[in-house]
Amino acid sequence: MISWGVIIPCGPIGNIPNFAKFVAPCTERTQICAARNAVIIQPEKIERAPSGTGVSARMAVLHAKGQMQFGDKLIGRSIIDWRFEGKIFGAMTISRLESIQPTVSGQG
């Protein structure tokens, strides 16, 4: 089994379970990224619903890579077709790190 640590830029927040998020490539690239995802949680569990945290994190990664801009949307769909939609509406700095300001809505 492979395990990675989690680094929280603003300081420790206690025990965090090991997890991994698997994401499909975006099917659209013009201001909307739609993609399926699944989160594997230790031990041997799969989260069936997308989450606002996961959508926000994915938008932050895509923004850092230059693949999402302010105003772009991300639609995350789970393995049971539940959907969360996020949008980057701004930026802010947390502990000297550039961050996005997301909005998220959905079912899950």
Identify the three-state secondary structure at position 56: helix
Percent of the residues in the chain that have a pLDDT greater than 90, as a whole number? 7
Helix (H) or strand (E) holding 74: strand 73-77
**Looking at the whole model, is its pTM more than 0.75?**
no
The predicted structure's pLDDT at residue 87: 94
Least confident of 13-17, 20-24, 78-82: 13-17
CATH assignment, 27-106:
3.10.310.10
Rounded CA separation 69/63 (Å): 6
State the residue for tokens 């603003």. 10
Res. 1 pLDDT band, cuts 50 70 90: very low
pLDDT top residue among 28 and 68: 68
Encoded tokens for 59: 């938008």
Taking CB atoms within 8 Å and a gap of at least 24, the contacts of 59-63 are: 59/86, 59/88, 59/100, 59/102, 60/99, 60/100, 60/102, 62/33, 63/88, 63/100
Encoded tokens for 40: 């594997």
Encoded tokens for 33: 């990224």
Q: What is the pLDDT of residues 45-102, one digit of tens each?
A: 777 766 788 888 888 988 988 888 899 998 888 888 888 899 999 888 888 888 899 9
Largest CA distance in the chain: 39
Q: What are the structural domain ranges in the chain?
A: 27-106
